Amino acid sequence: MEPPLKPDMYADYEQLAEDVRVMQRRMAGIRATAESDDGLISATVGGAGELLELSLDPRIYRTADSAALAKDITDTIHEAAGLSTEQGLAIAAGFLPPGMDADTADLRFDPVLRRLDRPERGDGR
């Protein structure tokens, strides 16, 4: 059973929850763009690595290799997602233990916020 929060601890929790929300808003504003080596493909992703924009130069149609085109598109999107993750790690650095990187950090802080927002019931649940 968790002990009930003291008034000053509650204020600390409220501040931490607000700090996490601010961080999440900053992360939601991330836009990371990568370009393929030949400059014919550009991909922009958001803070969660979601594809927001994909630009294909008409010159991509000069080569009829759909497998190579698909690989180039995928690679470009993955590069943009990696840049987005780096930006997210920079924003979240103050909330993460030392040594966290893109492979070990979970930048979705929703579970933390749910825990911080849950009213303390004093019964350990």
Of 116, 109, 112, 114, which is closest to residue 91 (Cα–Cα)? 109
Predicted TM-score (pTM) of this structure? 0.71
Nearest alpha carbon to residue 93 among 8, 1, 19: 19
pLDDT band for position 124 (cuts 50, 70, 90): very low
**Interval 71-81: pLDDT, tens:** 999 999 999 99
Total residue count of the chain as it appears in this document: 125
CA atoms within 13 A on the CB side of 38: 14
Q: How does pLDDT run across 79-122, given as a tens digit for each residue?
A: 999 999 899 888 888 777 777 776 766 666 655 566 666 655 44
**Backbone torsions φ then ψ of 74, nearest 5 degrees:** -60, -45
